[in-house]
Amino acid sequence: MHIQLSWEDPITEEQQEPIFPLPLAFGRDLSQLPSRWQGQEVSRAVFTSREVSRYHALIYCSENGQVIYEDRSANGSRINGKKIRQARQVLTGGEVVQFGPYNVTVSLVASADEDPDATLLTRAHRGTPTLLLEPPTDLIRPDTRTPIDIPPPSTVVFAPEQIVDSRAAGEFPPPQLFQAEHISLAALRATGLPVEESEYLALGGGIGSFVWVDTLRIHGVKPEQIRVISIAQKPYERYERLLNNCQIPRWKRIRSGSDSCPDNIWGWPGYALREAWRSFFSGRVLEALGFLWQVFSEPLLADTYTPRAGDVFTAMDREAARIGWEQMLCYGNIRAIRKTEDGRYVVAYSATRAGHTDHRFRVAKYVHLATGYPAIKLLKDLQEFREQTGDLKSVVHGYEPHSHVYEHLEKHGGTVLIRGFGIVASQVMERIYEARKVNPRISVVHLSRSPKSGNRFGRAKRAVENHWEFQPYNWPKATWGGDLRAMLEAATPLERRELLELWGGTTTASRRKWRRAVQEGLQQGWYSILFGKVEKVELDNKGKPVTYIQGTHNNTQVKVEADFVIDCTGLVSDPMTNPLLNDLISHYHLPLNPHGRLHVSNDFELVEMRNREGRMYAAGIITLGGPYAPVDTFLGLQYCAHRSVEHLVRVRAPGTKTLEGIGSLWQWCKWALNLKP
């Protein structure tokens, strides 16, 4: 008999589903877990939270074939919500076992029909060949890492640069040349391809690159010294595409603070003040006061203020023109990054456009890497469904275009199954609420692995209502600049992981409108929440996707027939799934943090990439799990930019000046007057 534990990683939001042969011992401290029990070899799993005991519990098969959960902990466990401590209980499969911050669903699998893919996760998980879920005590060093292959493309098309990449592969960058640790400029020139040079180079050209370049410009660097390589014209291009897909057009509000302004490094005036200003002079005085009241009293007395997407983009356009973004932008697909022999970096990129191949190199001394999300992935069972049926219409991801779902529902009515409880799920719910005004014959089944009770940290508890967990932004606010930021930076990699587990998880913003939709839906019966773990999704004879769910009691099975299934779980942040990053990490043996993301210093430097005077930095989701929690947010990206540029000032990088006091005020005045920095 084997046991499968499944849960969602609270930080990366990835599904974890390792399978262990019984008996299984788990706890916080590997050395406290027995390796043998009653003559049998024991599988061991380590969960790092301090709320888990050193040796928390043992799960074994009794003589009469029952599976027994034996709690041995100080704080106890909860099985389907019922507390047990220092006691035994029979498991029949499907139960949700809660210990510390973890909510783990247990499934019993006969050894024979074990899913070969499922164990893969465990092996990939820090490279232990046995079924041992052992977290590293520190950074993951390259020599202990098993190579992870780039997974086959998902059916969700997300990164156009990767598609072009695979089509135009071949002999660029020249494989022989790019095998070296350090490449000489002479060798680059000998290829006959153009070799361009600049002092600073931003890779990606999304919002992360934009705020870095903006910060550099305001710290004194001239546009001639900076180049940006991207396939996007506008810095918010990919972001806007994702917003559109998850039903947020320009006039809708995003999930961001008033002072998270990618167009203004000081955060003043924030979007609330600017919007209040505009409303006031358009004669809408009450509305203007409303915005000010929101920023004054949020989140205690009012919903948190958030700006409209369109206002953020307009402001970025203005700033882009001010700092000369287009002048610095080079169109291209980034293929590979290497160190050069003269203490710099070379980036091989392809500016190929239809019908005309154009391969180039660009050499720079200071490089910033912000390529955003590596991929979007469907939940495994949904991906299987799409592969088997070829049906890309009835099972969709919230981040891919899926307006046809709402059009169909408005015309014909129907049932939607939603997976995931984050911000995208809220948006989808809002959209369905609108659709119900056109056609009330629409119902929603919302699937959750386990009931939510709200994370705790110190004296505080996160708010929960109807199993939706609320938090204004995706991390507690003090992680951007308050005491939680300081605490995380001071912690060791493993302590960071623990803190992030307590602060993370899927949450949504508490907006009155959304909460009312959920409340009404529950009361009127068109919205229901179902608990359990999905076993499979299949096409029934009416051509609809049917989801088979293992309930939380006694291995019961529930079947949900729906017209559409919408996957509202997160995006993939594993850098190994991206060809460019995979190559960089493998080639230079870069260490990863305990979440398998790029390890950066507190200044966001990739320290192992240092090349004499040359420095390389990273920002965004690819650094998740490091010294700073909200890396994938506007303000977080500005923080990354701020730290790395202050670091550049310290190493006296050319053109950079300290920004403080009167100098800072002067730069702000230029911003306000829309003058070049």
Partner 1 sequence: MTPTLIGRWQTRIFLLSTVGVLASLPFYFGLTGHGGSFTYFWVLLYVGLFGCGWDVIYNYLMGYMWDHDWPGVLQLLAGIWEGLFLGTVLMVIGLPYIPTQDFYLVDFILHYGFVWVGIYLSSWVVMRILFPRWRFRGGEWLGKWPHSPS
Residue number with the shortest CB distance to ligand FAD?
206
Task: Assess 370 for contact with ligand FAD (CB under 6 A).
Answer: yes
Q: At what angle do helices 309-323 and 207-218 cross, to 10 degrees?
A: 40
Out of 40, 92, 297, 314, the only residue in the binding site for partner 1 (CB under 8 A) is: 297
Q: Which amino acid is at 615?
A: R
Binding mask 249-278 for partner 1 (x = CB under 8 A): ----------x-----xxxx----------
Q: State which of positions 396-415 bind partner 1 (CB under 8 A).
A: none
Nearer to partner 1 (CB atom), residue 135 or residue 454:
454
Considering beta carbons, is residue 254 or 418 the nearer one to ligand FAD? 254
391: left (phi over 0), alpha (psi -120 to 50) or beta: beta
Sole binder of partner 1 in the list 169, 190, 463, 522 (CB under 8 A)? 463
Cα separations in angstroms, 643 against 31, 370, 482, 561, 667:
38, 15, 16, 51, 18
Question: Nearest approach, Cβ of 28 to partner 1 (angstroms)?
Answer: 24
Beta carbons of 58 and 96 less than 8 angstroms apart: no
246 lies in the site for ligand FAD, by CB under 6 A: yes
- Segment 259-278, which members bind ligand FAD (CB under 6 A)? 260
User: Shortest approach of ligand FAD to residue 612 CB, angstroms?
Assistant: 26
The partner residues of 278 in beta bridges, in order of sequence, read none
- CA 410 to CA 441: how far, in whole Å? 9
Binding positions for partner 1, 567-606, rule CB under 8 A = 601-603, 605
Exposure class string for 11-45: b at 16+ Cβ within 10 A, else e: bbbbbbbbbbbbbbbbbbebeebeeeeeeeebbbb
275 or 632: CB nearest ligand FAD: 632
Q: Does 673 bind partner 1 (CB under 8 A)?
A: no
CA angle 45, 624, 272 (to 5 degrees): 135
How far apart CA 253 and CA 427 sit, in angstroms, is: 10
Binding-site partner at residue 601 among partner 1, ligand FAD, none, CB < 5 to 8 Å by type: partner 1
Tokens of 195: 């070799």
| β-pairing verdict for 464-465 and 468-469 | antiparallel
Of residues 468 through 487, those in contact with partner 1 by CB under 8 A are 471-472, 476-478, 480-486
Q: Does residue 511 bind partner 1 (CB under 8 A)?
A: no
Give the residue, chosen from 73, 633, 638, 656, that forms a contact with ligand FAD under the rule CB under 6 A: 633
Owner of token pair 């939680």: 484
Q: Is 208 in the site for ligand FAD (CB under 6 A)?
A: yes
Sign of CA dihedral 395, 400, 401, 403: positive
> What token pair was written down for 68?
């027994």
According to CB under 8 A, which one of 88, 181, 182, 296 is a site residue for partner 1?
296
CB-based contacts of 541: which residues, under 8 Å, 6+ apart?
A: none
Quick count: other Cβ atoms within 10 Å of Cβ 216?
29
- CA triple 579-316-325, angle to 5 deg: 65
Chain positions 76 to 135 lying near ligand FAD, rule: CB under 6 A, are none
Binding site for partner 1 (CB under 8 A): 259, 265-268, 295-301, 457-463, 471-472, 476-478, 480-486, 601-603, 605, 607, 610, 639, 642-643, 646, 650, 659-662, 664-665, 668
Binding site for ligand FAD (CB under 6 A): 161, 204-209, 230-232, 237-239, 242-243, 246, 254-256, 260, 333-334, 370-372, 580, 620-621, 632-634, 637
